[in-house]
Amino acid sequence: MMMDATKNNVNVSNTRNRTRRRLRMVIPAFPAFNIYSQVAKKTTALGPVCVATAAREVPGWDVEVIDENNMRRYGPGSKSGSADHGFLQNERAADVVGLYGGLTSTIPRLYEIAQFYKRRGAVTVAGGQHFTGKNIAEALRSGVDYVVRGEGEKTIQEVLRTISGHGDMRAVPGIAYLEKGKVVCTADREPLTEFEAFPMPDFSLLRYAKIKVYPIGRIRGCGMDCEFCTVKGKPRCASPERLLESVRMLVETRDARHFFIVDDLFGQQRQETLRFCGMLRDYQRQIRRRLDFTAQIRLDKAKDTQLLKMMREAGINMVAIGFESPIDEELEAMRKHITAQDMVRLSRIYHKFGFLVHGMFIFGYPLKDGREFSMSAKERIQRFRAFIKKAKIDSIQVLLPVPLPGTELRERLQREGRVYPTHEIGWEYYDGNFPLFEPDEPLTAQEMQGSLRKIMGKFYQFKYMWKLGLTVFFFPMLVFFLHDIKTGWKKWYRPWRNNLLRFGGWVVLKGWIREFKKSTFPQKLTRAQRQLKQASLQKNAHLHTPG
């Protein structure tokens, strides 16, 4: 259906026999072989739920959310394992389809869904971190009618009102669309600050999903300014009371127990964080139920003893920490402002306080031109393994650097002519498991990817199945801790849990390797390297051509 974005009222063909219209928010599926698939089946993304909840406030509109990665409750699945949108559209037609572009690796699937719905007369709207710069035009030529630039809660409300016949799309801030073949960007929309004006995220809008770990959040933005990260800007915070109310609603209406606090850095706004921890502790005492929380936090918060104590009292049992690298030169390039030695010391403090520590790493981070540093893949692997052991990390995630759209890292690597062309290494590979650029010498792209498997393969092994059996065997020995059952439980639970996790990680890793061997990525990588080399030779030849 051809559509003129300047018209006040967008006519949608499948609304003729209905007085109410429907917005369907879709979270696209991960690529077929992805190590995060198992985790995704237990949770969902918070952003699309927030946007859908805001959209529900628009009169005359029904709203639902479909997470293709979590379709475990009677979900109509397709042969590829994602959602059957033909069935969904026949069962209850959507007039507008919102598409979540927060993960670059899901963009090819997003375009596929957008084109499907556009052929059936629906209006397609996409938003998320991926859509910056040239990617906006790419989206608008790939089945997306409107791209939301920035946060979506207010924008989706105004888009829906305009589609209902109230207003003009040209007056809606924060969107982009095509007009006579050219990209039109409306005025920028200011970042949200009045979070209390919006309803609490409503997870009942999520259809077919089984949620075990609920995402919640209070703070948007991060002031750490890491080169590789898309999250920038001064942090903007909702009140601790609002976050606590989010927990209360989920506990009391959905019997939730496990939560992931999605804030990039837990502990920003220290006094408000302490107040939230106190309220959360008191709430659990009131309902006589212990809840379980995971939070992302900076290493240097280990120096704040009061904060750590309050976090433990509040039920924050796991911390996810971006160690990034055990190599000081790489830490400096990332602007992390810390040394590997200090990271070991601080990590052990978290361990001492009883937190389970999930360590996140980046292998082979590219240094800037002019930095004299050389290290083989073998030595890097040894550094990673030694650091992980010294820091007493309970679980790890090691990824390759991802030059995401809109980051300073991508801009730098593109200037240096090192990013592989996306027509060979497409967006579906932008998940941290594949080499996407020419690495620093003496590393090769193939060595980088192989190093991931060697580090992860050492940490997650089959042998932990036998160790898991031993920990189960020793469970009756808790009787010796009847005088202090809490201490006895901690001594038993941590090794049991880690052995289970490491064996489970081995199963996932083996599955990923099996699927990778079936893929054509090695051939694509070879072609991309050849093309990059040819482009470099042509550029050098042009620079040295007289006149």
User: 34-78 pLDDT, tens per residue?
Assistant: 667 788 899 999 999 999 999 999 999 999 999 999 998 888 988
Q: What is the DSSP letter of 394?
A: S
Indicate whether 496 pLDDT > 60: yes
Mean of pLDDT values over 341-347: 96
Per-residue pLDDT of 255-289, as tens digits, reads: 999 999 999 889 888 999 999 999 999 999 999 99
- Helix, strand or coil, per DSSP, at residue 208: coil
C-beta separation of 508 from 38 below 8 A: yes
C-beta separation of 63 from 52 below 8 A: yes
Share of the chain above pLDDT 70, in %: 91
Indicate whether 124 pLDDT > 90: yes
Report the number of distinct structural domains present in the chain.
1
Indicate whether 182 pLDDT > 90: yes
- Helix, strand or coil, per DSSP, at residue 189: coil
C-beta separation of 136 from 109 below 8 A: no
CATH code where residue 179 lies: 3.40.50.280
Q: How far is residue 226's CA from residue 336's CA, in Å, rounded to a whole number?
A: 7
Confidence tier at 119 by pLDDT (50, 70, 90): very high
Mean of pLDDT values over 537-545: 69
Which is higher by pLDDT, 19 or 525?
A: 525
Mean of pLDDT values over 157-172: 94
Q: Which two tokens stand for residue 300?
A: 């240097």
> What confidence score (pLDDT) does residue 100 get?
98
The helix (run of H) or strand (run of E) holding residue 97 is strand 96-100
Q: How far is residue 7's CA from residue 4's CA, in Å, rounded to a whole number?
A: 6
Indicate whether 458 pLDDT > 90: yes
> What confidence score (pLDDT) does residue 39 get?
86
Range of the domain at 40: 13-185
Asked, for residue 530, whether it belongs to a domain, the answer is no
Asked, for residue 343, whether it belongs to a domain, the answer is no
- Helix, strand or coil, per DSSP, at residue 529: helix
Which is higher by pLDDT, 14 or 427?
A: 427
Q: How far is residue 432's CA from residue 29's CA, in Å, rounded to a whole number?
A: 16
Confidence tier at 13 by pLDDT (50, 70, 90): very low
Q: Percentages helix, strand, coil for the chain, rounded to the nearest 5?
A: 45, 15, 40
Asked, for residue 448, whether it belongs to a domain, the answer is no
Taking the CB of residue 446, how many other CB atoms lie within 10 A of it? 15
> What confidence score (pLDDT) does residue 471 get?
74
> What confidence score (pLDDT) does residue 371 get?
73
Taking the CB of residue 198, how many other CB atoms lie within 10 A of it? 18
Among 183-192, 303-312, 461-470, 533-542, the least confident range? 533-542
> What confidence score (pLDDT) does residue 407 get?
93
Asked, for residue 480, whether it belongs to a domain, the answer is no
Asked, for residue 290, whether it belongs to a domain, the answer is no
> What confidence score (pLDDT) does residue 489 get?
58
Contacts 24+ apart (CB under 8 A), 328-335: 329/367, 329/371, 329/373, 330/362, 330/365, 330/367, 333/227, 333/365, 333/366, 333/367, 333/368, 333/371, 334/226, 334/227, 334/228, 334/362, 334/365, 335/225, 335/226, 335/227
Asked, for residue 111, whether it belongs to a domain, the answer is yes
Q: Which residue type sits at 244? A: L
Which is higher by pLDDT, 403 or 231?
A: 403
Taking the CB of residue 406, how many other CB atoms lie within 10 A of it? 17
> What confidence score (pLDDT) does residue 7 get?
42
Q: Where are the alpha helices (DSSP H) in 416-520?
A: 445-459, 464-473, 485-518
Q: How far is residue 32's CA from residue 254's CA, in Å, rounded to a whole number?
A: 30
Distance in Å from the first CA to the final CA of the chain: 52
> What confidence score (pLDDT) does residue 538 get?
79
Per-residue pLDDT of 217-232, as tens digits, reads: 999 988 777 888 888 7
Per-residue pLDDT of 500-522, as tens digits, reads: 999 999 998 998 899 899 999 99
Mean of pLDDT values over 195-204: 95
Mean of pLDDT values over 432-459: 95
Q: How far is residue 137's CA from residue 184's CA, in Å, rounded to a whole number?
A: 10
Q: How far is residue 506's CA from residue 191's CA, in Å, rounded to a whole number?
A: 42
Confidence tier at 2 by pLDDT (50, 70, 90): very low
Asked, for residue 178, whether it belongs to a domain, the answer is yes
pTM listed for this prediction: 0.91
Confidence tier at 152 by pLDDT (50, 70, 90): very high
Q: What is the DSSP letter of 190?
A: P
> What confidence score (pLDDT) does residue 536 get?
80
CA-closest candidate to residue 128, choices 117, 109, 487, 118: 109
Q: Which residue type sits at 248? A: R
Q: Which two tokens stand for residue 419?
A: 């990013």
> What confidence score (pLDDT) does residue 265 get?
87
Confidence tier at 334 by pLDDT (50, 70, 90): confident
Asked, for residue 85, whether it belongs to a domain, the answer is yes
Q: How far is residue 193's CA from residue 55's CA, in Å, rounded to a whole number?
A: 18
